[in-house]
Amino acid sequence: MVQEPILSLKKIEKSFTGVHALKGVDFDLYPGEVHAIVGENGAGKSTLVKTLTGITEKDSGEIVYLGRMFKPRDPKHALEMGIGIIHQELNMMDHLTVAQNIFIGRESLRAGGLLLDERTQNRRAAELFEQLNMTIDPRETLGKLTVGKQQMVEIAKAVSHNLRILILDEPTAALTETEIEELFTIMRDLARRQVGMIYISHRMDEIGRITDRVTVLRDGEYVGTRKTSEVTKREIINMMVGRVIYEQPKTASNVPPEAPVVLKVNRLNAGKLVQDVSFELRKGEILGFAGLMGAGRTETARAIFGADPVQSGSIEIHGRRVRVNTPADAVAHGVGYLSEDRKRYGLALGLSVKENAVLATYESFQKRLFVQAKKVERATAEYVEKLSIKTPSLNQILRNLSGGNQQKVVIAKWLIRNSDILIFDEPTRGIDVGAKSEIYALMNELAQSGRSIIMISSELPEVLRMSDRIIVMCEGRITGELDIAEANQEEIMKYATMREAGVA
């Protein structure tokens, strides 16, 4: 590239109490380039881009932007200067309209600056969407849009500020396949307009498809930068974790035929997305649930867990019919649910690692009304170690942990509770490759020790690698059931797109 970079980061340093998050990181970005930043959970990716937008103040180092030293005061300042960020977790105003969100803080005014000119604002938003080929109604309330559309609104908002750099921190984590395609189309369009993009993701295939270069961070250190076209997935992973990880599909079930049924779901109906769902889960089994987004897998899990009302059908646990009206009922019957949306259901971000880890299990640590602090501490420490949760102490507030490490705390929570039927809903979403294989090993260990697992996953390689048996859902119904020995990606996709259920 003969051009000058639009952005150069030099020797960026950042420490939090007890954590050296960035240890002299270098990074540069050219106009029209998509540059990935990859690394394990807690490597410092989010922190690096936060120093660029003034969310986090760096301790030392230089930011050179458009040939000049740049010191962002806050995200608003950065955005005015042409640097926009789409966060790992979206943060906009759900109750405002799309256009209001885009123009927040700089509303079009009328009548001498006293009245908000909604019409002008809506028109400008509509123009913006047209320019970006997005089909979104500016007057719609933001909260009513899908996550994918909300993200597009955030991008449009950034573009409305003479955008030079767009930062995307795990933008696809909650998107459907179609939404990911739409996002990539928009990114390619922005690249043609010379916008430089920083793309953070744990999904190697996406990095291969959309980025020009890849920079690897490990433990806050800069490891290196490669051209995407000249590097293999394996090489990148090696740079990230410093070791080789092998991904092998399972070829045969580990569950003996005489293993007892621990959970029997019979003709369950709950809303539109759970229709006549029947299946059995055996002791020691990992039962994969495959399907496209919206197939009804999460809804099935929530119904079994008592999180959503059930219209009809029955649930048997260890051969006994049980009533599960609330999650507390499910927990009492030994069922644990690791939700796909850890922020909303799984965790209390304002509490410490320790408090979160025992959230589901407080009563078992209470003895005549006083909490056995030592016991709580020991159990938590054990799983922090087992799951390699990266935290300076058990008292760290969860919000300060990296996204992937928060996910591991949810897992620890249910393991400490000793649940013997575990529902893992997208367990490795947002989790780096190294931690992924740790979680896989852990799931296998759990199954071997006699626990039973329902694993909902949208990643087919993961389904094929982990499951003993696979159930496929489509539009609220079970459309197929495959033994692992006969399963492959094509076969699963066939059932996942089968509109009419076969004879049940």
Ligand X SMILES: Nc1ncnc2c1ncn2[C@@H]1O[C@H](COP(=O)(O)OP(=O)(O)OP(=O)(O)O)[C@@H](O)[C@H]1O
474 burial class (0-12, 13-18, 19+ CB within 10 angstroms)? buried
Q: How far is the CB of 407 from Mg ion (least distance, A)?
A: 11
Map tokens 């008292």 to a residue.
395
Q: 362 touches which of ligand X, Mg ion, none (CB within 5 to 8 A by kind)?
A: none
**Residue 223 touching ligand X (CB under 6 A):** no
Alpha-carbon distances, residue 18 vs 362, 392, 395, 396 (angstroms): 28, 6, 12, 10
Q: 401 touches which of ligand X, Mg ion, none (CB within 5 to 8 A by kind)?
A: ligand X
Phi, psi of 328 (to 5 degrees): -60, -40
Q: How far is the CB of 432 from ligand X (least distance, A)?
A: 6
Q: How many CB atoms lie within 10 A of CB 216?
A: 25
d(CA 164, CA 83): 6
Q: How many CB atoms lie within 10 A of CB 378?
A: 10
For residue 496, give the H/E element and its range: helix 489-496
d(CA 467, CA 254): 9
Phi, psi of 77 (to 5 degrees): -60, -45
Q: How far is the CB of 23 from Mg ion (least distance, A)?
A: 17
Please say which residue, 261 or 397, places its beta carbon nearer to Mg ion. 397
d(CA 257, CA 90): 46
**Residue 407 touching Mg ion (CB under 5 A):** no
Number of residues that bind ligand X (CB under 6 A): 19
Please say which residue, 277 or 389, places its beta carbon nearer to ligand X. 389
Contacts of 57 (CB under 8 A, 6+ apart): 51
Extract the runs of DSSP E, i.e. beta strands, from 311-401.
312-317, 320-322, 335-338, 366-367, 370-371
Q: 400 touches which of Mg ion, ligand X, none (CB within 5 to 8 A by kind)?
A: ligand X
Which string of x and - marks every residue 45-74 that binds Mg ion (by CB under 5 A)?
-x----------------------------
Residue nearest to Mg ion (CB): 46
**And the tokens for 363?**
């009563």
Please say which residue, 160 or 201, places its beta carbon nearer to ligand X. 201
Which string of x and - marks every residue 256-295 that binds Mg ion (by CB under 5 A)?
----------------------------------------
Please say which residue, 388 or 400, places its beta carbon nearer to ligand X. 400
d(CA 433, CA 410): 18
Q: How far is the CB of 45 from ligand X (least distance, A)?
A: 3
**And the tokens for 414?**
């249910």
Residue type, 177: E
d(CA 136, CA 104): 17
Q: Which of residues 34-73 bind ligand X (CB under 6 A)?
A: 39, 41-47
**Residue 403 touching Mg ion (CB under 5 A):** yes
Q: How far is the CB of 147 from ligand X (least distance, A)?
A: 17
**And the tokens for 145?**
């849009």
Whether the CB-CB separation of 220 and 20 falls below 8 Å is answered with yes
Phi, psi of 94 (to 5 degrees): -60, -35
Please say which residue, 45 or 333, places its beta carbon nearer to ligand X. 45
Q: How far is the CB of 474 from Mg ion (least distance, A)?
A: 33
Please say which residue, 45 or 149, places its beta carbon nearer to ligand X. 45
DSSP 8-state secondary structure symbol assigned to residue 260: P
User: Segment near Mg ion (CB under 5 A), from 29-37, 39-47, 247-255, 257-265?
Assistant: 39-47
Q: Which of residues 336-395 bind ligand X (CB under 6 A)?
A: 390
Q: 405 touches which of Mg ion, ligand X, none (CB within 5 to 8 A by kind)?
A: ligand X
Please say which residue, 322 or 349, places its beta carbon nearer to ligand X. 349
Please say which residue, 299 or 438, places its beta carbon nearer to ligand X. 438
Which parts of this chain interact with ligand X (CB under 6 A)? Answer: 16, 19, 21, 39, 41-47, 390, 400-405, 432
Which parts of this chain interact with Mg ion (CB under 5 A)? Answer: 46, 403
